[in-house]
A and B are shown apart, each in its own frame.
Chain A
């Protein structure tokens, strides 16, 4: 097991604080960077995110080229506010309308690949109360400055132990610590070095994202890590300490649903890799119970496990980005060209 990764590929956002330097490297390498915010009813936080990224990473330092909001059909004012503050706003259901439509965060992230034009795509949750531009430049930094790194994951709060042997109070969230970390420990111990595998803040090269499938729901973060790890190895992944993140706290019930989707994604990947064999198919309903007085009522939710194929398999995408399929799929990775 490569247990050095946590030392070599873990960074602190402050290492990338020199935005002028990052902007110069980006320009020199001729790269475009897109920021994507998937939303569903985020009217309370979306404006602040857009304003800060636009001010700090577009107006003051030309690091980001576009801010794109992909909305799942918010019932509140999210889209109007996002437009007002200068983001390009798209309804997920209106992107690639020729395909069957799904609803979920993974769906939005996948469709963002079609809409955005960047060589690097930064995905950030839109519900961060204490948003700061470090959430973006901290993720972009390693991608620009270390050519080996292709995918960067954010983590916050405090890791359990750090490279300087300081003990910090917490690791990931509840689902990470109770579901995913035990699974990683059992099957992929190397991946336990990723402090917060479920964080919603990550960035990577289009050439990576376009070649992996995207589950439409909560399983997206898990599948992304597993797929990138399997295809390119741990060395292309880095993680960045983004320090404190304040967001909405979720109920245990909501986290249960998230855990369900993550477990399903994980098991599916294990089966696909031939590492385990299932004698029967998995159920697709999460069953929880509500107790009120003497009444116990089941709360059943069907959680779809649909998965989008790698975007590069979509002809419309290849046409838009001028990608020509390599006749020999075993040769070097496909080359994509950003549309300016």
Chain B
């Protein structure tokens, strides 16, 4: 393993020498809008580029997740997965043209998660350039319908229908380099929608203000007692409603997330919130509905799992301080299926979820080198225990 780690600097230099290939993939793929449920065009280009670039097999699974396979030497070893999500939070109307400066790329979706998709498309070329030949097949998958209402459907389907065992997985995130996620909290995201003029008969009463009704819901949620252990968190993340300053808001929507390392606690808190919603709705004579947007089960690797330990060593070797923490992205689905998996970031950037996201080019070379290092570690057996 130490030998492999000692190669990382050379990997970094070799990857820097094909900077144009990596950036071109990031730009050409990332400039194609891919809002959730409308990823087909981006998926098509990704497959096209992988098929042109030393990938032995390119296909889509039954759910239209684009997949490329770089065949390994051994027919007995299970495959290793490298995964990114394909969808971005921006609609097709948003300008997706990127600009490149001497050390940055700027544009919509780069951090969420277009840069990582471009790197995924470049990996076959990089693997070939580095002269690597793995025992396992390397499955490069960019899963659709991941974020928001997609609720990680693409990766769930991929794992549900994959017929062989999986040796291990690395989920690539555009940022931040140094992140080392090997646990996922239990999580439920929901919208609470209030409609105050939905044909309800009110004798002499004025129409309740939907925003104020949601305010009451928030107040009651804040009154819930959360235990210190297991740790839990309720985050009120979004609120929208109303039409104009002088008019009582007739509709409003509140978005919140419940998180904990205990699935039981997440379920319990969600039940409490649904009770609150039902009560406030009846008291104010409004339609108040809760809708689940996405949910993830709690799962984790131990902090001393060989994959986690090796990944941390690789980061340290590259002078990157590991930032450990949970992630509720694709890695959570691997972990809840008992597949050893980690999520790693590729570079640094600013403007997550914003159209003018800006990523740095220079850290990317270390970011990709760490992925190759971890891939080698999994191929050498760190997930096989």
Residues of A participating in the B interface, judged by any CB pair closer than 8 Å = 43-45, 47-48, 51-52, 54-56, 58-60, 77, 80-81, 84-86, 129-130, 132, 246
A–B pairs, 19, beta carbons within 8 Å:
A47-B100, A47-B101, A47-B102, A48-B27, A51-B27, A51-B100, A52-B27, A52-B28, A54-B20, A55-B21, A59-B20, A59-B21, A81-B101, A81-B102, A85-B20, A86-B20, A129-B97, A130-B31, A246-B97
Note all chain A residues with C-beta closer than 8 A to B334. none
CA of A118 to CA of B80 in the docked complex: distance in angstroms? 45
Interface residues of B in 26-61 (CB under 8 A from A): 27-28, 31, 52-53
The answer to whether B23 and A51 touch across the interface, beta carbons within 8 angstroms, is: yes
The answer to whether A48 and B99 touch across the interface, beta carbons within 8 angstroms, is: yes
CA of A60 to CA of B52 in the docked complex: distance in angstroms? 9
CA of A48 to CA of B104 in the docked complex: distance in angstroms? 11
| Interface assignment of B98: CB less than 8 Å from any CB of chain A | yes
Note all chain B residues with C-beta closer than 8 A to A48. 27, 98-100
- Within the complex, what minimum Cβ distance (angstroms) separates A149 from chain B? 27
CA of A48 to CA of B98 in the docked complex: distance in angstroms? 8
Residue from the list A47, A52, A59, A85 in contact with B18, Cβ < 8 A: A59
Number of interface residues of B (CB under 8 A): 18
| Interface assignment of B24: CB less than 8 Å from any CB of chain A | yes
Closest 10 CB pairs of A and B: A55-B24, A47-B100, A55-B20, A54-B20, A48-B100, A129-B97, A51-B23, A55-B21, A52-B24, A51-B20
Note all chain A residues with C-beta closer than 8 A to B98. 48
Known: A47-B102, A59-B18. 12 other contacts (CB 8 A): A43-B101, A44-B99, A45-B99, A51-B100, A52-B20, A55-B21, A55-B24, A60-B21, A80-B102, A81-B102, A129-B97, A246-B97
CA of A168 to CA of B10 in the docked complex: distance in angstroms? 52
CA of A179 to CA of B210 in the docked complex: distance in angstroms? 58
CA of A60 to CA of B19 in the docked complex: distance in angstroms? 12
- Within the complex, what minimum Cβ distance (angstroms) separates B379 from chain A? 26
- Within the complex, what minimum Cβ distance (angstroms) separates A13 from chain B? 15
Residues of B participating in the A interface, judged by any CB pair closer than 8 Å = 18-21, 23-25, 27-28, 31, 52-53, 97-102
- Within the complex, what minimum Cβ distance (angstroms) separates A133 from chain B? 8
CA of A229 to CA of B123 in the docked complex: distance in angstroms? 48
CA of A42 to CA of B296 in the docked complex: distance in angstroms? 47
- Within the complex, what minimum Cβ distance (angstroms) separates A136 from chain B? 13
Note all chain A residues with C-beta closer than 8 A to B31. 130
The answer to whether A77 and B102 touch across the interface, beta carbons within 8 angstroms, is: yes
- Within the complex, what minimum Cβ distance (angstroms) separates B50 from chain A? 13
CA of A266 to CA of B28 in the docked complex: distance in angstroms? 39
- Within the complex, what minimum Cβ distance (angstroms) separates A208 from chain B? 30
- Within the complex, what minimum Cβ distance (angstroms) separates A67 from chain B? 11
- Within the complex, what minimum Cβ distance (angstroms) separates B46 from chain A? 15
Note all chain A residues with C-beta closer than 8 A to B18. 59
CA of A229 to CA of B367 in the docked complex: distance in angstroms? 54
Note all chain A residues with C-beta closer than 8 A to B21. 55, 59-60
Note all chain A residues with C-beta closer than 8 A to B100. 47-48, 51, 85
Closest to A77 in B: B102
Note all chain B residues with C-beta closer than 8 A to A56. 24
CA of A51 to CA of B52 in the docked complex: distance in angstroms? 18
- Within the complex, what minimum Cβ distance (angstroms) separates A89 from chain B? 13
Note all chain A residues with C-beta closer than 8 A to B102. 47, 77, 80-81, 84
CA of A129 to CA of B98 in the docked complex: distance in angstroms? 8
The answer to whether B28 and A132 touch across the interface, beta carbons within 8 angstroms, is: yes
- Within the complex, what minimum Cβ distance (angstroms) separates B236 from chain A? 38
Note all chain A residues with C-beta closer than 8 A to B28. 52, 132
Note all chain B residues with C-beta closer than 8 A to A130. 31, 97
- Within the complex, what minimum Cβ distance (angstroms) separates A257 from chain B? 27
Note all chain B residues with C-beta closer than 8 A to A80. 102
Closest to A49 in B: B100
CA of A246 to CA of B99 in the docked complex: distance in angstroms? 13
Note all chain B residues with C-beta closer than 8 A to A129. 97
- Within the complex, what minimum Cβ distance (angstroms) separates B42 from chain A? 15
CA of A84 to CA of B27 in the docked complex: distance in angstroms? 18
CA of A59 to CA of B102 in the docked complex: distance in angstroms? 20
CA of A132 to CA of B27 in the docked complex: distance in angstroms? 9
- Within the complex, what minimum Cβ distance (angstroms) separates B30 from chain A? 11
- Within the complex, what minimum Cβ distance (angstroms) separates A49 from chain B? 9
Note all chain B residues with C-beta closer than 8 A to A60. 21, 52-53
Note all chain A residues with C-beta closer than 8 A to B27. 48, 51-52
Note all chain B residues with C-beta closer than 8 A to A54. 20, 24
Known: A80-B102, A84-B102. A51 touches B97 (CB 8 A): no
CA of A85 to CA of B53 in the docked complex: distance in angstroms? 22
Query: Counting chain A CB atoms within 10 Å of each CB, which of B20, B23, B25, B31 scores highest?
Result: B20
Closest to A56 in B: B24
CA of A84 to CA of B16 in the docked complex: distance in angstroms? 13
CA of A48 to CA of B31 in the docked complex: distance in angstroms? 12
Note all chain B residues with C-beta closer than 8 A to A77. 101-102
Note all chain A residues with C-beta closer than 8 A to B23. 51, 55
CA of A302 to CA of B23 in the docked complex: distance in angstroms? 42
- Within the complex, what minimum Cβ distance (angstroms) separates B121 from chain A? 11
CA of A56 to CA of B25 in the docked complex: distance in angstroms? 9
CA of A44 to CA of B107 in the docked complex: distance in angstroms? 12
Note all chain A residues with C-beta closer than 8 A to B25. 55
Closest to B104 in A: A47
- Within the complex, what minimum Cβ distance (angstroms) separates B41 from chain A? 14
- Within the complex, what minimum Cβ distance (angstroms) separates A83 from chain B? 10
Query: Counting chain A CB atoms within 10 Å of each CB, which of B25, B52, B99, B102 scores highest?
Result: B102
The answer to whether B99 and A51 touch across the interface, beta carbons within 8 angstroms, is: no
- Within the complex, what minimum Cβ distance (angstroms) separates B16 from chain A? 12
Closest to A50 in B: B20
Closest to A130 in B: B97
Closest to B31 in A: A130
Closest to B106 in A: A44
Closest to A80 in B: B102
CA of A52 to CA of B21 in the docked complex: distance in angstroms? 8
Note all chain B residues with C-beta closer than 8 A to A132. 28
